[in-house]
């Protein structure tokens, strides 16, 4: 199992690490038992994600996918951010080892979870089936993920 240069770059020099005070949306997915937790912070103005930061406990791929996901949604509309798929994150990273695909799923869910939080805070109705991510079970490698 080996990471490519792009993944290693995002792991060693992660973009947008940190927290946003008074963020408009905060989402946390994963759990410590499974070995990865992602927390995503969004600053939203006029339906656009003007700032985005993350904190991640996890492996190299977890940190790299978090970093890439923040880059991909920063400056985008909420609608565009909701369309971010784990597959797109993997492609932007030029591939992940098969056992690490679940990290990209977590990144996608972290974004959705932060947007759901924004909707909740603002009393906006949304599709719970689509955006509410469970924090319960560990993701099986590759399951419900597009490789």
Rounded CA gap, 83 and 85, in Å?
Answer: 6
Smallest separation (angstroms) from other proteins to the CB of 79: 26
User: How far apart, in whole angstroms, are the C-alpha atoms of residue 6 and residue 19?
Assistant: 24
User: Does 92 engage in binding with other proteins (CB under 8 A)?
Assistant: no
Tell me, yes or no, if 59 is annotated catalytic. Answer: no
Q: Taking Cα atoms as reference points, which of 56, 59, 57 lies closest to residue 1?
A: 59
| Active site annotation includes 133 | no
- Counting residues that bind other proteins (by CB under 8 A) gives 29
Helix, strand, coil distribution of the chain in percent, nearest 5: 40, 20, 40
Answer yes or no whether residue 32 interacts with other proteins by CB under 8 A: yes
Phi, then psi, of 50 in degrees rounded to 5:
-85, -25
Interface pick for other proteins out of 10, 25, 52, 56 (rule CB under 8 A): 56
H-helix or E-strand containing 12?
helix 5-12
> Using the rule CB under 8 A, which residue among 33, 75, 122, 146 binds other proteins?
33
Q: Active-site residue numbers?
A: 34, 103
Residues that bind other proteins (CB under 8 A): 3, 8, 11-12, 14, 17, 28, 32-39, 55-63, 99-100, 138, 140-141
């Amino acid at each position: 199992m080996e990471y490519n240069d792009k993944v290693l770059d995002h792991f060693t020099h992660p973009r947008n690490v940190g927290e946003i005070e008074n963020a408009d949306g905060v989402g946390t997915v994963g759990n410590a038992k499974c070995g990865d937790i992602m927390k995503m912070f969004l600053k939203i103005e006029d339906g656009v994600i003007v700032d985005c930061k993350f904190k991640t406990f996890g492996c190299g791929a977890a940190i790299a996918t978090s970093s890439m996901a923040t880059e991909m949604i920063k400056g985008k509309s909420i609608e565009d951010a909701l369309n971010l798929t784990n597959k797109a994150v993997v492609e932007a990273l030029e591939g992940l080892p098969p056992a690490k695909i679940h990290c990209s799923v977590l990144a996608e869910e972290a974004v959705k979870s932060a947007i759901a939080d924004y909707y909740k805070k603002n009393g906006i109705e949304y599709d719970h089936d689509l955006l509410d991510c469970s924090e319960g079970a560990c993701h099986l490698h590759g399951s419900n993920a597009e490789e």
